[in-house]
Amino acid sequence: MGKPGNIRLTGTIVIPMDQLEELVPLLEEHIILTRKEPGCLHFDVTQDAETPELFHVSELFIDACAFDAHQRKGAQRRWGAASADLDRDFHKETL
């Protein structure tokens, strides 16, 4: 999956149990908005079946410009501000 020049980001994000009720709706809104962004080829965030506070992230953007635009937009959304301090373990690569 992916073509030369695409940007892929994979990894995990942890939403503490006591913040799930507040943050999951913001995350769901962020996912919907991201999938509509120009240059977004794939964007999934799925909750781990065995560890509910762990979310698996898989993103694919057409190029670095689209990925960078996504990062800026995400930071401006309600999800961006509310999730700024969450633990993330991401790996970004150019295909």
14 has a pLDDT exceeding 90 = yes
Kindly list the distances between the CA atom of residue 71 and the CA atoms of 11, 40, 48, 53, 66, in Å, as whole numbers in the listed order: 15, 12, 24, 23, 9
72 has a pLDDT exceeding 80 = yes
Q: Give me the pLDDT at residue 8, please.
A: 98
This prediction's pTM: 0.93
62 has a pLDDT exceeding 90 = yes
Q: Give me the pLDDT at residue 1, please.
A: 64
